[in-house]
Chains A and B, each alone.
Chain A
Amino acid sequence: GAVVSQHPSRVICKSGTSVKIECRSLDFQATTMFWYRQFPKQSLMLMATSNEGSKATYEQGVEKDKFLINHASLTLSTLTVTSAHPEDSSFYICSAILAGGTWQAFFGQGTRLTVV
């Protein structure tokens, strides 16, 4: 099946620094990728929809200046958490849709971000 690779799997950063998370579709082209955030014991929350070559669409309540999303190619989307704070500590997951109407999203392995 299609594979989505997310890197890094774990990252610890200092408060005030920025962290970039990469999401790659390894064997297919993904015109659309999604970024989710998972809070402990809560639902996966859709943060934004990333379309190749255009600006990301953010869900209500998500700060677009804090969570910068770039989808520069058909196989790569990046999420940059800028000026990270401890409350940004979370599990971030990306997904990509396989074109052709299979209605299946392929998910990355997730990134555990810890801001200290």
Chain B
Amino acid sequence: AQSVTQLGSHVSVSEGALVLLRCNYSSSVPPYLFWYVQYPNQGLQLLLKYTSAATLVKGINGFEAEFKKSETSFHLTKPSAHMSDAAEYFCAVSDNTGNQFYFGTGTSLTVIP
């Protein structure tokens, strides 16, 4: 069984500040982990994914995440927030078939000018 916990349903950062969105997972098998972003009234877009290769994964729009097995974490970071980063972010886990995804509750990111 797999599950994901996202700490902090709302995160606010100033423009130019570090973005850190937290994600912890639980999985009975080696997990595949994903971050998705959802802009208002749009579908989900894949930011990045971890599928057992390099533990530091770089994604689109300057985001990256590091898989830490000892901490069962997959936190999403971006060095400098931009106004266009304001959105809802979802962490997701799947098993090694990559077929079913289980999502966290999402974190709403607000960027303050």
Chain A residues in the interface with B (C-beta under 8 A): 4, 6, 9, 32, 34, 36, 41-46, 49, 93, 95, 97, 101-105, 107-110, 112
Contact = CB atoms under 8 A, between A and B. Distances in A.
Contact of A109 (B42, B94, B103): B42
A104 B106 contact: no
B43 A103 contact: no
B9 interface: yes
Contacts of A108: 43
Contacts of B101: 34, 46, 95, 105
Nearest to B105: A43
Interface residues of B, number: 23
Given A41-B106, A49-B100, A105-B34, 13 more contacts: A44-B103, A45-B103, A46-B102, A49-B99, A95-B44, A103-B32, A103-B94, A103-B98, A104-B49, A105-B46, A107-B44, A108-B43, A109-B42
Interface of B: 9, 32, 34, 36, 41-46, 49, 51, 90, 94, 98-106
A18 B49 CA distance: 37
Contacts of B36: 107
B51 A103 contact: yes
Given A93-B44, A109-B43, A43 B49 contact: no
Contacts of A109: 42-43
A41 B9 contact: yes
A97 B43 contact: no
B69 to A, nearest CB: 18
7 contacts: A9-B41, A41-B105, A93-B43, A101-B98, A105-B101, A110-B42, A110-B43
Given A103-B32, A110-B43, A97 B9 contact: no
Contacts of B106: 41-44
B6 to A, nearest CB: 8
Interface centre among B36, B43, B51 (most CB of A within 10 A): B43
Nearest to A45: B103
Contacts of A43: 90, 103-106
